[in-house]
Amino acid sequence: MTVQHPQLPVTVRTFAQRFSATRRGARLARLLAAHQFTVWGIPRGTAVFDAASLAVAELAANAVLHGRVPGRDFELVLVYDGGEGVLRVEVSDTHPARPAPLPAPVAGAEPDCGDEERGRGLLLVEAVADRWGVRERCGPGKTVWAEFVLKAVPGGFPGPFDPVDPVEPAGSADTAVPADGV
């Protein structure tokens, strides 16, 4: 006689995709990540959605601009761990150099705006992520990752957001257009 064991619920979900190391590849990575977040129940307009989407955009752009090796793709891996309440974003490229963020501006000091238009992406990732870092990958290159802690709701992490505290979408109910378009 076979003994049936109860099946444990799946709490870890993963999305992985390779993209061409082009601007279009970086844009597609951002769009697919945003779609995957909504599939996992992270609503658009929430702090976690916006922060993770920004991190994907910055890390993918870095992989294309600074980590590009001709003929090699970059990889995006998203991990949603509902049991632990963590969303993880990983971007891997094959360039051997590790990223070096610009130093953070000193509080009270005159900002040095200069002509520099690059180099602030990792500062943005550091500002929006709960944790981030760089690790070696299997094969050439490195992986830059960022983690986002999801808000706990009573009874655990059934969803990555607290439904009691929704974020108001752009355009409130006061400015809504009637359904008939008039």
Retrieve residue 74's tokens: 């970059």
**Confidence band for 180, pLDDT divided at 50, 70 and 90:** very low
Retrieve residue 64's tokens: 């294309």
Structural domain of residue 30, as residue ranges?
A: 12-101+119-161
CATH value at residue 33: 3.30.565.10
Q: Is residue 108 part of a domain?
A: no
Q: Is residue 149 part of a domain?
A: yes
Tokens 């003994």 belong to residue: 3
Rounded to 10 degrees, the C-alpha dihedral 155/160/165/166 comes to -140
pLDDT surpassing 90 at residue 1: no
Q: Is residue 130 part of a domain?
A: yes
Q: Is residue 18 part of a domain?
A: yes
Q: Is residue 87 part of a domain?
A: yes
What's the number of domains the chain is made of?
1
Q: Is residue 178 part of a domain?
A: no
pLDDT: is 149 or 103 the higher one? 149
Q: Is residue 17 part of a domain?
A: yes
pLDDT in tens, 46-103: 999 999 999 999 999 999 988 888 888 999 999 999 889 999 999 999 988 888 766 6
Taking the model in full, what pTM does it have?
A: 0.74
Q: 3-class DSSP state for residue 92? A: strand
**Confidence band for 117, pLDDT divided at 50, 70 and 90:** low
Q: Is residue 63 part of a domain?
A: yes
Concatenated DSSP letters of 19-67: E-SSHHHHHHHHHHHHHHHHHTT--TTSHHHHHHHHHHHHHHHHHHHTS
Mean pLDDT of 25-37: 97
